[in-house]
Amino acid sequence: MTRYFKRKWSETRGDEFDSWGTSTWYFEVGSDGYPSKQIELYENGNRLKYHSEKTFDDYGGLSDQALNMDEYQKFEIEKAEFYKEWEVSNPKKEHQEILDLISEYLSNHYSQRFGQALFNLRINEFVNKEDPSKENYKIRDIHGDSDEKILKRLKGQLEWFEDQKKRR
């Protein structure tokens, strides 16, 4: 039987990420007591999420110890509460698509610097691309751009690259 738990930790990590503050941990636990999914929410807003396909990263990992069910009984929560937090911890669809496209581009153009790729993919771009002597020949502020708008520019540029290859 799968069970769900939420536990607040009043101590900080005690490591190089101690400044993140205290945390709240969510666990999905199988009948063997071992977590199959885990979410860590820190005071500073950082979220860590672990599961069978992502058991560790540079910040931590899925617990490899069974939870003491007697101790954790008072922290049990409903499945719906766990999954509400689990879904919040997933990247937005557009974010994941942007990251995947950038990753694929960089894997095919490994000699480019990251900043160079952002320009080449039109994520960042100049306001006036034609005349450097004009006042508006500066980097366009993309802070207010929607994810959809950035994704549209990125896909348009990738299509343009493909068209250029066909013309060769």
Q: Are strands 76-77 and 3-9 parallel, antiparallel or unpaired?
A: antiparallel
| Helix (H) or strand (E) segment spanning residue 150 | helix 147-167
Give me the number of domains the chain comprises. Answer: 2
Residue 154's pLDDT band, with cuts at 50, 70 and 90, is very high
DSSP letters, 29-56, are: E-TTS-EEEEEEEETTS-EEEEETTB-B
Domain range for 82 is 3-88
Of the three residues 29, 56, 88, the one that is the final residue of a domain is 88
Of the three residues 69, 88, 107, the one that is the final residue of a domain is 88
Cα 62 to Cα 34: distance, rounded to the nearest angstrom: 9
Say if residue 137 is in the same domain as residue 153.
yes
Say if residue 8 is in the same domain as residue 77.
yes
Say if residue 75 is in the same domain as residue 103.
no
Tens of pLDDT along 76-124? 999 999 999 998 877 778 888 999 999 999 999 999 999 899 989 988 8
- The yes-or-no verdict on residue 6 having pLDDT over 90 is yes
Residue 133's pLDDT band, with cuts at 50, 70 and 90, is confident
Cα 123 to Cα 26: distance, rounded to the nearest angstrom: 35
Round the CA-based radius of gyration of the chain to a whole number and report it.
Answer: 22
Of the three residues 68, 88, 108, the one that is the final residue of a domain is 88
| Residue labelled with tokens 């006042």 | 135
Give residue 161's Cα distance to chain centre. Answer: 27
